[in-house]
Amino acid sequence: MTNIETRPVPSTITSEEIQTGQAMCPYCGVGCLINIKTRHNQVIELRGTPDSPVNKGLLCPKGALLGPVLDLPGRLLHPQSRAHRHENFTTLTWAETITQISTHLRAILEKYGPDAVAIYGSGQLDTESWYLANKLFKGYLGSNHVDSNSRLCMASAVVAYNTTLGSDGPPTCYEDIDYSDCFLIAGSNMADAHPVTFQFVKARRSANPATKIIVLDPRLTNTAKQADIHVPLQPGSDIAFFNALGRIFLDRGAADGDFIAQHTANFEAYANHLRSLDLDELAQICGVPLALIQRVAEVIMRANGWLSFYCMGLGQSTVGTAKHQALIDLHLMLGQIGKKGAGPFSLTGQPNAMGGRELGGLAHLLPGYRQIENDAQRYEVENYWGVPTGSIHPQRGLTAIEIFQALESGRIKAIWIAATNPLVSLPNLAQAKRALAHAELVIVQDCFETETSQVADFVLPTAQWIEKECTMTNSERRVTRNMKLAEPPAAAKPDWWIFSQVAQAMGYAGFDFTDNRQIWDEYRQLTAGRPCDQAGMTNERLLEGPLQWPCPTADHPGTPRRYENHRFATPDGLARFIACDHHAPKETASPAFPLVLTTGRLASQWHTMTRTGKIPKLANQAPLPYIEIHPADAQKYAISSGDEVIVGSIRGEIRVQSKISERVQPGVVFMPFHWGDLFAPGQATNNLTLDLFDPVSKEPEYKACAVSVRRAI
């Protein structure tokens, strides 16, 4: 352990007055709006906003228990640094910190060039902060090694939206739930991970009993338990399932010929591909009876409005992009898109994962969904930022896993990590640890001490949640301005302020902002004319309430649903069918590692537990990491419920408690991923997972790795 100074004491009391305002919940991408009252920098009242269309007053237990987060232990209070990693940290002033960081960065740039610096951010960073970091690295430092933990969960969804519909960003909105009579939930334990939205799905079925909920999941999750049809398909067989549905739609004449002819391209090639497939073989790959697939197809074909929700169960795969494309193909075939109650709807896991994509916070993007490798789009941004032509490198940068590989190989020397905890959340943690140990400079910027801050050279304390005013976009393209209702403790600062100070210390113009509203004004105007147009979202309007993009002008009401005119965001306005082939997960069971591990989330925890792990009512629901194992496998390996078991993959071993459960299939085991070394030393699930990734989206394959289990002696 290091001696990072954290927060055992309440924040400085600066206000006697009650502050009242609204902010989004800082956890999942549902983006529930909350009415909050604070006094003395403490939350004294907190309720879901009754008239918010996102949550209609509801909050899940994580949101309802947000009150204590301002005063949890482990809060970072002052900037700190150390000359060597084995030494303790020393507290610095901000002036010292900014000078030292800018000096270090400049020295590394001069010695190795811009290819040696990278930033790894997060879907938890607000839009203004991540916009500035992106501007600093891509526009001024000349490095496109700017990536985010959104790469780990949403990158495949991004690519698939782009390749099929011409633009990232879901076509759908939460209001569509009220018009749908068929919900397909694929690769998402929505009941636990996006619980408020799932409540509305269930409410729709209660109000309209003909409505069906279909869940595709290898595991009998809490979502699957509440489904009308659960398809317990084999891990990684989603494309085979979607292709089987497509073939049935085709054979039954369900394709919407007019929609396909007028609004899509490549249908014949896609249809020919489906015709070349054998339904019995597809069902065999899925590990479910063909009759079950036919039943699902019939329910979908009968639906007036078919809405698909999906999440990391599709994306976290070496063929994650194709999984998304194969599902979107089906919506296009039936014309179930661009109308009320229908369409593909990706669920985001973090509060501003969508905003981070919009502002170009990934290694291949620039603000406004512009592509780095598009010369005209790159010049537009250079011109807008006032930097010389050629300042932005013309090639895309390295992505999350690649950045950590480049740190280990020595190509990248300096890494700035903001609002994320890669030493719990990245796959193959042994590699991530080696990578950071090898780096010359590790800067970690966060509001709480984390496993990652413990290995840093500089630790920068940040304001969290309602300690700053900021802007975020939720899963349905709804942009919300969070109000500041408490002072950050001690020396903690908003992320945007830290980036702007370092940029100015390095001598760069264009960073002399004094508040987030100035940054927002610069950013929103850069989105003008782009698919994610937020130019009409002035500060004044956002202070009155959230708006959904596109919202191009100050009098535009915002856009709940995209593509209602069936003109897509491709150059010719036509959506694209993309024929996709099933490929098994890269790592399959073997004699040495005979079980397939799939990972996921718990309703009571969020990400790496930095906040939810310290709230007893949440933490007590699952106090220890565990593995779910089917009774047949438990018997085979002589494991009883509650035994300590050693779970091993080719990358490492951990010890966790066993839970014998028929929620998993024989041959498949499940582990939640939340615990890291701070909460369960040495037992992080990601010690086991593999860091192979989809070659297009670069999203890693968390959902299937080969493991062994044995009882600890």
In whole angstroms, how far apart are CA 103 and each of 223, 273, 511? 51, 57, 18
Considering the complex, state which of residue 479 and residue 579 has its C-beta at the smaller distance from ligand SF4: 479
Count of residues in the chain: 713
Helix, coil or strand: residue 182: strand
CB of 481 to ligand SF4, least distance (A): 16
Strands 182-186 and 306-310 come out as: parallel
In whole angstroms, how far apart are CA 559 and each of 126, 376, 529? 22, 27, 14
Buried/exposed 506-544: b ≥16 CB within 10 Å, e otherwise = bebebbebeebbebbebbbebbeebbbbbbbbbbebbee
Strands 42-48 and 33-39 come out as: antiparallel
- Using CB under 6 A, which residues numbered 14 to 43 contact ligand SF4? 25, 27-28, 30-32
- The residue within the footprint of ligand SF4, chosen from 4, 46, 59, 173 (CB under 6 A), is 59
Nearest Cα to Cα of residue 673 among 435, 480, 428 = 428
Instruction: Determine, following the binding rule CB under 6 A, whether residue 63 of this chain makes contact with ligand SF4.
Output: yes
Considering the complex, state which of residue 43 and residue 456 has its C-beta at the smaller distance from ligand SF4: 43
Considering the complex, state which of residue 263 and residue 611 has its C-beta at the smaller distance from ligand SF4: 611
Q: Which stretch, 58-66, 238-246, 342-350, 541-549, contacts ligand SF4 (CB under 6 A)?
A: 58-66
Considering the complex, state which of residue 154 and residue 406 has its C-beta at the smaller distance from ligand SF4: 154
Q: Which stretch, 54-62, 275-283, 463-471, 489-497, contacts ligand SF4 (CB under 6 A)?
A: 54-62
Considering the complex, state which of residue 63 and residue 343 has its C-beta at the smaller distance from ligand SF4: 63
Considering the complex, state which of residue 195 and residue 625 has its C-beta at the smaller distance from ligand SF4: 195
Nearest Cα to Cα of residue 541 among 486, 471, 468, 477 = 471
How many residues sit close enough to ligand SF4 to count as binding (CB under 6 A)?
A: 14
Q: Which stretch, 56-64, 323-331, 366-374, 669-677, contacts ligand SF4 (CB under 6 A)?
A: 56-64
Considering the complex, state which of residue 490 and residue 619 has its C-beta at the smaller distance from ligand SF4: 619
**Structural contact between residues 359 and 139, judged by C-beta atoms closer than 8 angstroms:** no
Measured between alpha carbons, how far is 375 from 378 in angstroms, rounded to an integer?
Answer: 5
Residue 650, C-beta contacts closer than 8 angstroms, at least 6 positions apart: 593, 706
CB of 480 to ligand SF4, least distance (A): 11
Considering the complex, state which of residue 81 and residue 610 has its C-beta at the smaller distance from ligand SF4: 610
H or E segment at 709? strand 705-711
CB of 649 to ligand SF4, least distance (A): 30
CB of 199 to ligand SF4, least distance (A): 9
Structure tokens belonging to residue 584: 């098994």
Measured between alpha carbons, how far is 70 from 55 in angstroms, rounded to an integer?
Answer: 23
Other C-beta atoms lying within 10 Å of the C-beta of residue 229: 15
CB of 604 to ligand SF4, least distance (A): 11
Structure tokens belonging to residue 491: 């020396």
Considering the complex, state which of residue 132 and residue 213 has its C-beta at the smaller distance from ligand SF4: 213
CB of 376 to ligand SF4, least distance (A): 38
- Using CB under 6 A, which residues numbered 169 to 198 contact ligand SF4? 194-196
Nearest Cα to Cα of residue 465 among 63, 121, 14, 61 = 63
CB-based closest residue to ligand SF4: 63
Residue 497, C-beta contacts closer than 8 angstroms, at least 6 positions apart: none
Q: What is the DSSP letter of 75?
A: B
Measured between alpha carbons, how far is 261 from 268 in angstroms, rounded to an integer?
Answer: 10
Helix, coil or strand: residue 668: strand
Considering the complex, state which of residue 187 and residue 235 has its C-beta at the smaller distance from ligand SF4: 187
Considering the complex, state which of residue 201 and residue 441 has its C-beta at the smaller distance from ligand SF4: 201
CB of 63 to ligand SF4, least distance (A): 2
CB of 333 to ligand SF4, least distance (A): 32
Other C-beta atoms lying within 10 Å of the C-beta of residue 651: 18
- The residue within the footprint of ligand SF4, chosen from 4, 36, 46, 60 (CB under 6 A), is 60
Considering the complex, state which of residue 453 and residue 480 has its C-beta at the smaller distance from ligand SF4: 480
H or E segment at 26? none
* Residues of the shown chain interacting with ligand SF4 in the complex, contacts defined by CB under 6 A: 25, 27-28, 30-32, 55, 59-60, 62-63, 194-196
